[in-house]
A and B are shown apart, each in its own frame.
Chain A
Amino acid sequence: MNDRPSVRIGNGCGFYGDQLDAPRDLVRSGNLDYLTLEYLAELTLSILARRREKDPSHGYAHDFLYVVESLVPDLSKPNAPKIITNAGGMNPPSCARAVADILCAAGLADRRIAVVTGDDIMSHVDSWLDDGEPLEHLDSGRPLTDVRERLVSANAYLGAAPIVEALRRGTDIVITGRVADASLTVAPARFVFGWSDEDTEQLAQATVAGHLIECGAQATGGYSTSWESLQLTDVGYPIAVLDANGELRITKPAGTGGAVTVRTITEQLLYEVGDPSAYLTPDLILDVTGVRLEQVEPDLVAVRGATTRGIPARYKVSAAYRAGYQTSGQLVVYGEDCLRKADAIAGMVLERVRRAGFELERFHVEKLGTGDAVPRSSDQAAVPDALREVVLRIAVADSDRRAVERFSREWAPLVTSGPAGIGGYTQARQPVRPVYAFWPATVAKSRVDPLVRIDVRPATQWACAGKHDSGSTDSSP
């Protein structure tokens, strides 16, 4: 496989909730070797952990099942792209069983599915805390013991290595839990070209490729300042074309909307990056300060010059803990007096909550339409004189669920016991939701690596395992 000229890796999903048909469209027009699908944002795992608590067969990104269904005709063809996804979330084996059921029903029972686990470190947290691994908060430096009682989930960001191993064993679909976004791209390139840890330039280029395509259409004109000149309705999703020597080009399928330009790539290059000379991934510390971009032809940008500052000894950890309850309400306030009225309504609701015996720990009032969405220094001038309508939004938080529920309860009565000229209620009572707060930390790789398991089986065997719930059989690290 090493003499292969290049590998085409397309990303058809940038987060859990992205366009459902994008993967299908990308596969049909992208001539892909690999399709990656990224489902896990910072707090997605805590939501999936809660779902698994309620139903042990849940806890993964269900959108992926729709995607697999939509791809059945394509997967039946020879040279179908292999799929690499972290859709497994908190429950990769259950996800694999559901995918296997779809494949078996479609006559694709021989397709091999790999499951990568070991990222879920929740059951090890206590012993590690005892053992001198404080899992301290990356920003505040506080030890995890501060929130241990309220901890909901804790996952390490695994890298490319277990996916490379899964591909080496022969697999059509790789389903993982928390694997870092960029590693979903690094893995197939590393597998195809047989790179070793010493091939640092190539690995840095593959990592920047993964970073560029991990948010889907954000590399191809989505979320662009220049949106007006781009046809975003049918925006094409990004494809990274990598060579054995690490040469990288980013493109998108012909005939799709959006654009791949030096500008769209530059905007994505630094998206959610802190220090651009030290972007931490599980595989390496990426330095993009030397990156140069060239528009080779329309919708084809060459990316050169990514480097690395070495291989980190620690994995990033994404943990989540219970942090009380929240809700928010929104309504339209109309009339020449809309601003005064919105202020009065906010005061009224909060006072009624207070009189019911609840002092809300936090609340935030926004008059959307006046610049409140981004509080700047001197924004009052931005409010037009003849403002006729404004959206009043109040969000509240409290550790006592009852306080938040009381606020929610006070929202609907405004329609008859508030001023004239308010409307746009979407719900009589705003749903109260539990809040899971993010706890970023790091952990020594040597603690996590022994937990990693790779389980490759044909779909028939996964489907079987689902029915008998026998768990893993031939798994090995």
Chain B
Amino acid sequence: MKLVQLATARSGDKGNHANIVVVARWASAFAWLQDHLTCQRVAEFFGGLQPTRVERFVLPNVQAFNFVLYDVLDGGGSLSLRSDTQGKLLGTAILDLPCDGAPLETLSS
């Protein structure tokens, strides 16, 4: 199972930092992700970007998580030499994150 089955996502930049919004598709998925979509998991998944720190904010009202990945944009904005200068692709990328072990009830409401 992959995160895309449990959530949608959007990402953007804040200087040299990126934020990734992950919105659970259902309450059961949100509950499971709260335990399993940890800062450590996200930091490992984006290991190639070498984040200096990953912070997670939980918003239960809207069943969403806001991840802030620090220093991942190669200087950010105009300084970055990557094709994805603003971290726009990270939201789509995180949906590839393996969610093996998520129980079947997370696949529906």
Chain A interfacial positions (CB closer than 8 Å to B): 42-43, 138-139, 218, 223-226, 262-263, 266-277, 288-293, 305, 323, 326, 328, 362-364, 366, 368, 373-377, 379, 393, 395-397, 435-438, 440
Q: Check A293–B79 contact: CB distance below 8 A.
A: no
A365 to chain B, nearest CB (A): 9
| Known A225-B9, A364-B81, A373-B89: A266·B47 in contact at CB below 8 Å | no
Chain B interfacial positions (CB closer than 8 Å to A): 4, 8-10, 12-17, 19, 21, 23, 44-49, 57, 59, 61-64, 66, 68, 74-79, 81-84, 89-93, 95
Q: Check A139–B62 contact: CB distance below 8 A.
A: no
Which 5 pairs of residues, A with B, have the shortest CB-CB distance?
A: A375-B48, A377-B47, A225-B8, A364-B81, A395-B81
Out of A273, A373, A437, which one reaches B83, CB within 8 Å?
A373
| Known A224-B8, A225-B8, A291-B61: A376·B78 in contact at CB below 8 Å | no
User: What are 7 A-B contacts with C-beta separation under 8 Å?
Assistant: A43-B77, A225-B91, A266-B64, A289-B61, A291-B62, A373-B82, A373-B89
Q: Using Cβ atoms and an 8 Å threshold, which residues of chain A touch B19?
A: 270-274
Out of B4, B57, B74, which one reaches A275, CB within 8 Å?
B57
Q: Using Cβ atoms and an 8 Å threshold, which residues of chain B touch A438?
A: 15, 76-78
Out of A262, A268, A373, A437, which one reaches B79, CB within 8 Å?
A437
Q: Check B62–A266 contact: CB distance below 8 A.
A: yes
Q: Whole-angstrom distance between the alpha carbons of A138 and B74 in the complex?
A: 17
Q: Check A323–B79 contact: CB distance below 8 A.
A: yes
Q: Whole-angstrom distance between the alpha carbons of A123 and B43 in the complex?
A: 42
Q: Whole-angstrom distance between the alpha carbons of A218 and B92 in the complex?
A: 15
Q: Check A267–B8 contact: CB distance below 8 A.
A: yes
Q: Check A289–B95 contact: CB distance below 8 A.
A: no
Q: Check A440–B83 contact: CB distance below 8 A.
A: no
Q: Nearest residue in B to A277 (C-beta to C-beta)?
A: B57
Q: Using Cβ atoms and an 8 Å threshold, which residues of chain A touch B16?
A: 139
Q: Check A271–B10 contact: CB distance below 8 A.
A: yes
Q: Using Cβ atoms and an 8 Å threshold, which residues of chain B touch A396?
A: 81
Q: Check A292–B47 contact: CB distance below 8 A.
A: no
Q: Using Cβ atoms and an 8 Å threshold, which residues of chain A touch B8?
A: 224-226, 263, 267
Q: Whole-angstrom distance between the alpha carbons of A437 and B78 in the complex?
A: 6
Q: Check B64–A270 contact: CB distance below 8 A.
A: yes
Q: Check A138–B81 contact: CB distance below 8 A.
A: no
Q: Nearest residue in B to A305 (C-beta to C-beta)?
A: B61
Q: Using Cβ atoms and an 8 Å threshold, which residues of chain B touch A436?
A: 78
Q: Using Cβ atoms and an 8 Å threshold, which residues of chain A touch B64?
A: 266, 269-270
Out of B13, B62, B81, B90, which one reaches A292, CB within 8 Å?
B62
Q: Whole-angstrom distance between the alpha carbons of A239 and B96 in the complex?
A: 33
| Known A364-B74, A438-B76: A376·B93 in contact at CB below 8 Å | yes
Q: Whole-angstrom distance between the alpha carbons of A16 and B62 in the complex?
A: 30
B39 to chain A, nearest CB (A): 14
Q: Whole-angstrom distance between the alpha carbons of A396 and B47 in the complex?
A: 23
B97 to chain A, nearest CB (A): 9
Q: Using Cβ atoms and an 8 Å threshold, which residues of chain A touch B49?
A: 374-376
Q: Which of B21, B23, B48, B81 has the most CB of A within 10 A?
A: B81
